[in-house]
Amino acid sequence: MDLDLLADCGRCSGLCCVAPAFARSADFALDKPAETPCPNLRVSVPGRPDAPCGIHGSLSERGFPGCVAYDCFGAGQRVTADWREGPGAARAAFDAFAVLRPLHEILWYLTEPLDDAPEDLRAEVARAASWVSGLTEGPLAGVDVASVRAEVGEVLGRVSAAVRGSSGPGHARADLVGRDLGSGRASRRALAGTTLRGALLMGADLRGVDLGRADLLGADLRGADLRGAALGQTLFLTGPQVAAARGDATTGLPDRVPRPSGWG
């Protein structure tokens, strides 16, 4: 299995700027219907390798931090149809992207380095990765993404519990919005090895916190302060989560998670 799970915008037709709908919010400065080009998109000719966003260098300042935090996990460059080539091609491109993008995200989780997981679980994860990778080869029309997500989520939950040495609820889906989680020496270690799956950590102060083998699958880190925090060993962290947070050169990240520009 040889998969590229990092976006290569130069090999994509800007699908993430066309296919999704945006609701005007703190993340997007305007409403945009689905399958409609964002007005900031500079439509280039098919195959032309450029950055098509006209405000690419100032997205956050112009009210589009949601675009900074978006990642297709390499799905965009897998779509062979080009939405700019007419309605039929557009339909094919949007339908393919709607399936490939979540499958690529699932593959990101399934390719997490898990050297400390039990061998039987690692084998199970490898089988699941092979299965999902096969689904991306098509046909995509019959793929039930919700079922795939549920099935893989169950496996990842067991892996997480085994690696962390705990199957308790931890802080899964906890509302930790704006909380100061980094004050005091003890609290800076308190989250290592816990589960923060789906936790709301928007604006939380995690400065200097050692998250150890914490499970961050689906945690909302928008605006969380990660300066000096150690996330290098965390489970299931993604580029979009990191891009939506605040960090600096002292923030530790897993090797495979891209360091946002501006973090030093």
Candidate ranges 36-44, 91-99, 139-147, 148-156; the one touching ligand SF4 (CB under 6 A): 36-44
CB 196 within 8 A of CB 172: yes
Sign of CA dihedral 25, 37, 78, 7: negative
Least Å from the CB of residue 82 to ligand SF4: 16
User: Which of 7, 9, 19, 41 touches ligand SF4 by CB under 6 A?
Assistant: 41
Residue of the chain from 9, 19, 64, 199 that contacts ligand SF4 (CB under 6 A): 64
How far apart CA 65 and CA 68 sit, in angstroms, is: 5
Token digits of residue 43: 């439509």
CB of 47 vs ligand SF4, minimal distance in Å? 18
**Binding test (CB under 6 A) with ligand SF4, winner from 17, 69, 81, 237:** 17
Range in contact with ligand SF4 (rule: CB under 6 A) among 34-42, 157-165, 187-195, 246-254: 34-42
The three-class DSSP label of residue 32 is: strand
If the CB atoms of residues 60 and 187 are measured against ligand SF4, the closer one turns out to be: 60
Task: Name the nearest CA neighbour of 204 among 246, 233, 172.
Answer: 246
Contact between 143 and ligand SF4 (CB under 6 A)? no
Write down how long the chain is. Answer: 264
Is residue 209 close enough to count as binding ligand SF4 by CB under 6 A?
A: no
What distance in Å separates the CA atoms of residue 2 and residue 80, rounded to the nearest whole number?
Answer: 18
Rg (CA), the chain: 19
Please, what is the minimum distance in Å from the beta carbon of residue 58 to ligand SF4?
10
Give the distance, in angstroms, between the CA of residue 147 and the centroid of all CA atoms in the same chain: 19
User: Binding of ligand SF4 at residue 13 (CB under 6 A)?
Assistant: no
53 binds ligand SF4 (CB under 6 A): yes
Least spacing, CB of residue 40 vs ligand SF4, in Å: 4
In the region spanning residues 66 to 125, those forming contacts with ligand SF4, defined by CB under 6 A, are 67
* Cβ neighbours of residue 180 closer than 8 Å, sequence gap 6 or more: 204, 205
Residues β-bridged to residue 175? 200
Contact window for ligand SF4 (CB under 6 A) among 35-43, 71-79, 112-120, 131-139: 35-43
Residue 183: Cβ within 10 Å count: 12
Name the site residues for ligand SF4 (rule: CB under 6 A). Answer: 17, 38, 40-41, 53, 55, 64, 67
